[in-house]
Each structure stands twice: as structure tokens, then as C-alpha cells.
């Protein structure tokens, strides 16, 4: 009682084979294996005016009070400023980790980030920390460009300013495509564009945004056949 904790959308039981694998950040008690709208015991602890309400990702952080599985909270330092450390629960860790842990961005490389929300901006910070030489931020909202540049973006481009697909623009800007691309929006078309914008030989594309449940993506297999790598990440790997 009284502990400060961060609710985590990706549980960590510490006992299963995934938790004990140093290269994995998934837990076999994760909601990916079960329905996300009820707690693991298949109950809902929420109600409003007598009507049952579903949970969300086992954390339900938009609620003023919540009930969560024990393994979805991490105890933190009592002195930690809550208005800042809350970002570790998903946003900052997911974006920064996508660059550092999942893509493993190398010094001197080129990167493209699709989407400049909190996660996209955290990817920009991760790419900068990793020593990327060129960080191209892509968004249809130019009002986000100043913050992106403040955090490390070297170029900011709006797809609506061009008559050609954005992957062609990025390929022309870099000569052969970027070394690393990240999709932090959650649209099928931008995921395909992000994959196509990294270079065909050694390019790595990381899927960070989440599509609607049940969605499918159709891609040209040649995009992968030539050598690109397409990876997913949750909570920054």
C-alpha cells in the first residue's frame, strides 16, 4: 500500500520462458494471448450505473481508479516525478526503444520516422542518441516539425507537398533509401510506404503503430525478397 507504480501494457511475470529469455520482452501471460477486455480471471471489475464496463489492455489508465493483474505494474522510486515517469508506461519507452532495441540504429545511418506524435518524437530522440547522421521526420501536420527538429530531426517533410509517393521522395533524398524506417501511425498504407522507403539491401523497417483489429496488409514480396527486414515492436522491445 502506498507504493508508486507504473502500469504496463506488456506484463512481465518473470517466470515464463519468454521472460527468462534476455532477447525477449514478451510475457506468456500477456494479453496478446487472451481477450484484452476482461482481466485474466475473465471478470470485469468496472461498472457504471449497474452496467458492466470492459477493461482495456489490463491497465485502463483513463479510469480514475483501476484494478490490474499484479504482474502489470512496476514499482518505482517514491521520489520520481509522476508527471514525467508516466511516459515510461508506453509512449517514450515504445518510441525510444524501437530505435535503440528493435532497429539497433547504427552511428552515421539515415532514418525516416512516419508520424510525429509522442511515440514518433521519442523515435527521433532514440535515433539521435544512437548517432544517426540524418533523421527525416514525416507528417502531414507541419505544426509538429519545430518540436521534431528541436529533438533531433534533420529534415521534416509533408507527403502532401509532393506529387509522388513519399517512399520515392525519401529514396531520392538519400540516393538509395534510408537505413532505418519507423511507422508510428497505424495505417496500412504508411506501413507499406515505410517499408518501401528503406533501402532494398540492408534496410530495416520497424512497425510501431497499431492497425485496427483484424486488419491485413498486402505487400509486394519483392520488397522483402531483396533483403529488407520488417520488424514489429511493442513497448520498445
Taking only the tens place, the pLDDT of each residue in 39-92 is 988 999 999 999 999 998 888 888 888 999 888 899 999 999 999 998 988 899
∠ at Cα 236 (211, 210), nearest 5°? 5
For residue 197, what are the contacts with CB-CB under 8 A and spacing of at least 6? 112, 166, 167, 170, 171, 177, 178, 181, 205
Quick one: DSSP state of residue 202?
A: T
In 3D space, the residue among 165, 198, 180, 182 whose CA is nearest the CA of residue 116 turns out to be 182
Q: How confident is the model at residue 25 (pLDDT cuts 50, 70, 90)?
A: confident
Q: How far apart are CA 205 and CA 53, in angstroms?
A: 37
pTM exceeding the 0.85 threshold for the entire prediction: yes
Name the band, by pLDDT with cuts 50, 70 and 90, for residue 123: very high
| Three cell numbers, residue 71 | 504482474
CA distance 171 to 156: 15
Residues 105/174, Cβ–Cβ less than 8 Å: no
Residue 132 CB contacts under 8 Å (≥ 6 apart), including other chains: 105, 106, 107, 108, 109, 110, 111, 180
Contacts of 181 (CB under 8 A, 6+ apart): 111, 112, 113, 114, 170, 194, 195, 197, 198, 203, 204, 205, 206
Instruction: Tell me which H or E stretch contains 92.
Output: helix 91-97
Evaluate whether 205 touches 194 at the Cβ level (below 8 Å).
yes
Q: Which residue has the cell 521472460?
A: 19
pLDDT per residue over 128-163, tens digit each? 999 999 999 999 999 999 999 999 999 999 999 999
The pLDDT value given to residue 8: 87
Bridge partners (DSSP) listed for residue 13: none
Strand bridging mode 46-48 / 155-157: unpaired
Domains and CATH numbers, the chain: 1-89 (3.90.180.10), 92-232 (3.40.50.720)
**What are the CB-based long-range contacts (under 8 Å, 24+) for 54-57?**
57/9, 57/31
- CA 142 from chain centre, in angstroms, equals 21
Amino acid at each position: 500500500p502506498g507504493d508508486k507504480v507504473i502500469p504496463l501494457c506488456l506484463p512481465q511475470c518473470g517466470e515464463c520462458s519468454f521472460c527468462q529469455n534476455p532477447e525477449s520482452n514478451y510475457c506468456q501471460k500477456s494479453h496478446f494471448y487472451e481477450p484484452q477486455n476482461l482481466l485474466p480471471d475473465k471478470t470485469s471489475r468496472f461498472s457504471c450505473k449497474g452496467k458492466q464496463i470492459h477493461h482495456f489492455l489490463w491497465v485502463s489508465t483513463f479510469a480514475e481508479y483501476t484494478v490490474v493483474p499484479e504482474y502489470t505494474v512496476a514499482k518505482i522510486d517514491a521520489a520520481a516525478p509522476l508527471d514525467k515517469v508516466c511516459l515510461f508506461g508506453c509512449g517514450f519507452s515504445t518510441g525510444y526503444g524501437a530505435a535503440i532495441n528493435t532497429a539497433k540504429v547504427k552511428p552515421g545511418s539515415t532514418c525516416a520516422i512516419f508520424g510525429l506524435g509522442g511515440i514518433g518524437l521519442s523515435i527521433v530522440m532514440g535515433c539521435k542518441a544512437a548517432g544517426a547522421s540524418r533523421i527525416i521526420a514525416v507528417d502531414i501536420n507541419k505544426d509538429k516539425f519545430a518540436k521534431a527538429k528541436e529533438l533531433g530531426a534533420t529534415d521534416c517533410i509533408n507527403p502532401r507537398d509532393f506529387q509522388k509517393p513519399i517512399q520515392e521522395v525519401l529514396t531520392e533524398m538519400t540516393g538509395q533509401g534510408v537505413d532505418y524506417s519507423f511507422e508510428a501511425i497505424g495505417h496500412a498504407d504508411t506501413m507499406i510506404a515505410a517499408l518501401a522507403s528503406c533501402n532494398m539491401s540492408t534496410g530495416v523497417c520497424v512497425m510501431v503503430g497499431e492497425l485496427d483489429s483484424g486488419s491485413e496488409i498486402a505487400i509486394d514480396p519483392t520488397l522483402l525478397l531483396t533483403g529488407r527486414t520488417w520488424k514489429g515492436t511493442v513497448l520498445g522491445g
